[in-house]
Structure 1
Amino acid sequence: MRKKIINKSAELFLTLGFKSVTMDDIANELGISKKTIYQNFDNKTKLVEAATLNMFDNICDGIDHICNASHNPIEELYDIKMFVMTYLKNEKASPQFQLKKYYPQIHQNLQTKQFEKMHISVKHSMQKGVDTGLFRQNIDVDFIARMYFNGMSGIKDESIFPSTLFTMEYLTESYLEYHLRAICSEDGLKTLTQFITNNQS
C-alpha cells in the first residue's frame, strides 16, 4: 500500500503541483481513507519527500539505461532530455518551482542528489565525447559538467524564464543545443546538425 500511495502521489504532484494536491485528493484517487495514508506517512511533508525520492530513483535508473545503450554522447544527452521531460510530464504544473517554494529543505536535498548523479553521468558522457572526437580535445570536463548542471537548474528559475513566455520543452531543447555547440568538435557539429535535422518535428 505504501508503494501505491507514493506512486499515485507522485503522479498527482507532477500533474497538479505539490501545493495544490491535498491528502484528501490522494485518498480519493486511490479509493482509500485518509487514515490509511497517515498510517504510512506522518504528514504531507513526509509523503512529498518519499514521492520525490522515488521519482529521483526512477529517473536515475532510466538515465543509467540510456547511458549503457547509447550510440554517442550527443544522442545520449537528447535521449536523457526526452526521457526526463516525458517522466516529469513536461513540468506543466511547475512542480520544481512549487517544491522549492513550499518544501525548501526537500528541494535542497534533492538538488544535492541531482548534482551528485548528474555530475558523474555528464562527466562520463563528456569524456566519451572527447575520446571519440565528437567533443573538443581541450575542454575541461569537470568544469563543463558543473556548468551544464548549473544551466539546467537555471532555466527552471521562474523569475528569469517565466512559464508565460517559455515552455520547459523549449528551454531544455534550446539549452541543450547551446551547450553542445559550445563543446563539439567539427565532426561533432556535423553529427549534431544531422541529428537535429533528422529529429525536427
Structure 2
Amino acid sequence: MKEVILKKAGDTFLKLGFKSVTMDDIANELGISKKTIYKYFKNKADLVDETTFYMHEAMHKEALKIYNLGYNAIQENFEVNKVFKGFMQNLDDSPLYQLQKYYPETHQKIMSQEYCLFKDCLLSNIEKGIKEGLYRKEIMIDQVTKFYFSLIMSVHDSNLYTYSKNTINKLELNVLEYHTRAIATEKGIKILEEQLKLNNI
C-alpha cells in the first residue's frame, strides 16, 4: 500500500505542485481514508520527502537501462533525456523549483544525491564519447560535468524562465544541444544534427 500511495502522490505532485496538493487530495485520488496515509507518513512533509526520493529512484532506474542498449554516447544522452521527458511531460512549472521553495531540506538532500548520480553517468558518457571519436580528447571532463549540471539545474529556476507546457522539456533539450556542441568532434556534430532532426529541434 505504501508504494501505491507514493506513486499516486508523485503523479499528483508533478501534476498540481507540491504546495497546492493536500493529504485529502491524495486520499481522494486513491479512494482511501486520510488515516490510511497517516499509517505510513507522519505528515505532508514526510510524504513529500519520501515521494521525492521514490520518483528520483524510479527515473534513474529507467535512465540506467539506457546505458546497456548499445547507443553511441550522443544518442545515449538523447535517449536518457526522453526518460526524464516522460516523467515531466506537459508540466507548466518546475517541480524542483517548488521543492526548493516549499521543502528546502528535501530539495537539498535530493540535489546532493542527484549530483553524485549525474556525475557518474556523465563521466561514463564522456569517456565513451572520447573513445568513439565523438567528443574531443582534450576536454576538461570534471569542469564539463559541472558546467552541464549547472545548466540543467538552471532550467528549473523560475527566476530565470517563464514556463508554459513543455517549456522544461524544450529547455533541457536546448541545454543538451549546447553541451554537445561544446565538446563534440566533427563526427560528433553530424550525429548531433541527426538527433536534433529526430527530436524536431
Length-normalised TM-score, structure 2: 0.95
Report if aligned partners of 1:15, 1:93 keep a CA contact under 8 Å in 2.
Answer: no
RMSD: 1.6
Report if aligned partners of 1:85, 1:91 keep a CA contact under 8 Å in 2.
Answer: no
Distance apart, 1:198 and its partner CA = 3.6
* Equivalence for 1:110: 110
> Which stretch has the larger CA shift, 57-66 or 92-101?
92-101
> Which stretch has the larger CA shift, 61-70 or 7-16?
61-70
Report Cα offsets for 1:15-61 as digits up to 9, x if no partner: 00011110000111111111111111100011001100001111111
* Equivalence for 2:185: 185
- Aligned equivalents of 1:39 and 1:82: distance in 2? 35
Number of equivalenced pairs: 201
* Equivalence for 1:80: 80
Distance apart, 1:162 and its partner CA = 2.0
Percent of aligned positions that are identical: 37
Report if aligned partners of 2:17, 2:98 keep a CA contact under 8 Å in 1.
Answer: yes
Report if aligned partners of 2:136, 2:185 keep a CA contact under 8 Å in 1.
Answer: yes
Distance apart, 1:194 and its partner CA = 2.2
Report if aligned partners of 1:14, 1:89 keep a CA contact under 8 Å in 2.
Answer: no
Instruction: In structure 1, list runs of 5 or more residues that go unmatched.
Output: none
Letter in structure 2 aligned against 1:172: E
Report if aligned partners of 1:18, 1:95 keep a CA contact under 8 Å in 2.
Answer: yes
Instruction: In structure 2, list runs of 5 or more residues that go unmatched.
Output: none
- 1:55-66 matches, within 5 Å, as 55-66=55-66
- Aligned equivalents of 2:35 and 2:129: distance in 1? 52
Displaced runs of 4+ in structure 1, greater than 4 A? none
- 1:44-193 matches, within 5 Å, as 44-163=44-163, 167-193=167-193
